[in-house]
Structure 1
Amino acid sequence: MKVAIVKAIIFIGCFFVSALAISQGDDAGEGEFPYIVSVTYNDEHICGGFIYSNYFVLTAASCLIGKSPWNTAVVIAQLSLIQPDVDELRIQALSFYIYPEYEEVYHTNDLALIKVNQPIPYGPHVNFIYYEEANDTDTSATVMGWGATQVFPFKQINTSLIF
């Protein structure tokens, strides 16, 4: 069940900036989701992810297939993909760990870890994610990602998990 929660959290963040991005959500406040990061490749946002520990970010394997860690980074404390945020920090990826049971055609088990080359500095706007096992099909979730309107503000919506 923990994997279901993790997938729900990173699912929306793994869309490219397109019509599939969050629309009609609410702007997220500064520091409201301190565990969310933007995964970038050649300095362009490709996916969302979340801080798992001070050296690891969890994201979707499909975001990293065919890419090099040398051109990949995570950006922490970022509300806008266009306008720089005062607190945002770019941290270079060191290596990738693709979940061994990832299936590329159907994107099943679509999980990967990014190891960064320096510790992620925790603070009021940056922290690892707290999660617990879902034990109920009536569990609600918040879906987060960057929207595709105006200046791409970070968005959130509330929804229910379907197992």
Structure 2
Amino acid sequence: MRSLHKFLLFQVLACLGQSAHGSKIIHGDKAPENSMQFMVSVQNDKGHICGGFLVSEDFVMTAAHCDSNHVSVVFGTHNLKDAGGKKRKIERRYKPETYHSVGTGGDIMLLKLSEKAEMDNGVQLIKLPTSEIQLPDNALCQVAGWGLTRTGGEVVDDLRVVDVSVINPNICKNQWPGLPDGVICAGGYGTNKGFCQGDSGGPLVCNGMAVGVVSFNRNRNCNYPNAPNVYTDVSKYLPWIKNILNHTKI
């Protein structure tokens, strides 16, 4: 099993390369202004590096592999050049003790904000599952983010969203030797829709809930992904999430 995990990690790193951070929604559309008001841009002093989403007034959820030199989050806008976006500094980061690398699972992180996000018409929370879930094959969900829209394309500032279908876990395991437990596969794999090379930390949204966190896919071909896109299954980490949200308040 260790050798399988090494193989998987190699494939993941080959995918991430030097473009591990950022957001690249492939063959999607510009998100309507009154939608996805839970979306967050995780940023460093140079700008956007990862996606995320508001799960409480003082916590953002993102991917554990996004833990780098980010210092703040921006929310309340779909356009990252919009001066009306609201910013909060990151006070603390929380990752599961089981997380070691992208390929071994546990790729989820909570960011505690230095000040609460005020809810209004442009800022909303997204619901999380209340218990473990098993998504049906081919269930239609959405993933969103900022950035490139195709291989070698131009960076965009407007939030984009694309529909993706859930892939049977057994099919996903066949395509990803050594796939860790606690993941969901959706998009990619024979379609031309999904995320690519670091649409990291954004949510997989099914029936109005954030059920997954963008984790990894394979290779640099964003136009025709040849393996399923992989997300961390939020429902598998509910005790950990609840413990942090309930005991770490501003």
Amino acid at match of 2:143: V
Offset at residue 85 of structure 1 (A): 4.5
User: Greater share of helix residues, 1 or 2?
Assistant: 2
Q: Return the match for 2:82 from 81, 84, 88.
A: 84
What secondary structure does 1:156 align onto? strand
Q: Return the match for 1:48 from 46, 51, 60.
A: 51
Matches of 1:33 and 1:15 in 2, distance apart? 23
The count of aligned residue pairs is 142
Offset at residue 125 of structure 1 (A): 1.3
**Could you say if the C-alpha distance between residues 135 and 24 of structure 1 is closer, same or farther in structure 2, counting changes exceeding 3 Å?**
closer
Q: Aligned ranges for residues 1-163 of structure 1 at < 5 Å?
A: 16-17=21-22, 21-64=24-67, 66-67=68-69, 72-81=71-80, 83-86=81-84, 88-104=85-101, 106=103, 108-132=105-129, 133-148=133-148, 149=154, 151-162=156-167, 163=169
For structure 1, which runs of at least 5 residues remain unmatched after alignment? 1-13
**Could you say if the C-alpha distance between residues 30 and 85 of structure 1 is closer, same or farther in structure 2, counting changes exceeding 3 Å?**
farther
1:21·1:147 contact (CA, 8 Å) conserved in 2?
Answer: yes
What secondary structure does 2:93 align onto? strand
What secondary structure does 1:102 align onto? coil
What secondary structure does 2:103 align onto? coil
Amino acid at match of 1:84: D
Offset at residue 60 of structure 1 (A): 0.4
- Structure whose CA Rg is larger: 2
Listed one character per residue, the Cα deviations across residues 92-123 of structure 1 (whole Å, up to 9, x for unaligned) are 11100012111215252100000001111111
Amino acid at match of 1:51: L
* Percentage of pairs with the same residue: 27
